Amino acid sequence: MEAWYRLVDTLVPFGWAQYIFMKNALLAVLVITPVYAVLGTMVVSNRMAFFTDVLGHSAFAGIAIGVLCGIYDPTWPMIVMAVVLAVLINVLKGLTRASMDTTLGVFLAFMVALGITLLSRQGGFVKYTKYLIGDILAVSPAEISWLAVLFLAVLVYWCLAGNALILTSVNRSLARSRRIKVFLLETSFTILLAVVVMLSIRLVGVLIINSLLVLPAAASRNFARDTRAYTLWAVIFSVVSGAAGLVMSYYWGTASGATIVLFSVGCYLVSVVAAHVKKRECQHGTP
């Protein structure tokens, strides 16, 4: 951590960079935003945005169950809850070939209602509102090292399973015919998503975690013409809007997570315009 602090001191001569909490938050942002981007590419390709939203909201139920069991740090109950939910939904998806939309909606309602009901006993919900918007400025070096482990895990997973995920996303039978264990693959991917989302709840909150997953990939998709560009641009959008949002939230005195999302939306709009301009150029026959 000391090395990182010195690096920031040398490179960034601005007022915000003198605070330890800003340095920590910046490091956390730089480590976690590429993870969002990479996982997000597959979430968007597979139309899983609603699924990750349900995962995020299951944090309420996780926290509540943690409180009931008398666990002080809700991280583990949240992760366990989300992983169980992810596997359950994946199994259900295998049983029915119909759309999961309604089922997911029921899960979303159940998770949120269960969490809020339990947490609001004796009017105590107010002290949990911090999980709604998160607080990345409170991130500790220990949490950052967890995020770094996650970063490496996702990197390794993506190297090993990236191709298989692409093939499975276009056709499951085709993937099976190439000896891919489709159920295992999809389950492991959803578990990874569950862990990433849950570790992010304290940083950015239940309400916007999904936007951070979906927006960079959605923006990149507007003009990327192959998988590499898709991934690369998603990572660039994610990291740039993460860093910009964090810094501006310092000057504006706003919640970091939400400010980051605003910058992501900005990237998305720019990409829509850029894609439109490019398309018109192509149509007019300019090379």
Q: Which is nearer to another protein, 45 or 103 (CB)?
A: 45
Rounded CA separation 23/141 (Å): 10
Task: Indicate whether 283 belongs to the interface with another protein (CB under 8 A).
Answer: no
The least CB distance from residue 165 to another protein, in Å, is 9
Nearest to 52 by CA among 75, 29, 31, 82: 82
Q: What are 280-284's contacts with CB under 8 Å, separation 24+?
A: none
Which residue stretches of the chain are H helix?
Answer: 2-11, 20-45, 49-68, 75-95, 101-119, 130-133, 141-170, 172-177, 182-204, 209-221, 227-252, 256-283
Task: Indicate whether 222 belongs to the interface with another protein (CB under 8 A).
Answer: yes
Task: Indicate whether 224 belongs to the interface with another protein (CB under 8 A).
Answer: yes
The least CB distance from residue 225 to another protein, in Å, is 6
Task: Indicate whether 178 belongs to the interface with another protein (CB under 8 A).
Answer: yes
Q: Which is nearer to another protein, 104 or 206 (CB)?
A: 104
Rounded CA separation 280/287 (Å): 11
- Both tokens of 116, joined, read 């809020």
Q: Which is nearer to another protein, 64 or 100 (CB)?
A: 100
The least CB distance from residue 204 to another protein, in Å, is 24
The least CB distance from residue 38 to another protein, in Å, is 8
Rounded to 10 degrees, the C-alpha dihedral 253/258/264/270 comes to -70
Task: Indicate whether 282 belongs to the interface with another protein (CB under 8 A).
Answer: no
Q: Which residues 17-76 are close enough to bind another protein by CB under 8 A?
A: 38, 41, 45
DSSP state of 128: G
Could you say which of 17, 112, 166, 243 contacts another protein (CB under 8 A)?
Answer: 166
Could you say which of 171, 254, 273, 280 contacts another protein (CB under 8 A)?
Answer: 171
Residues at the contact surface with another protein, assessed by CB under 8 A: 38, 41, 45, 158-159, 162-164, 166-167, 169-171, 173-174, 176-178, 220-222, 224-231
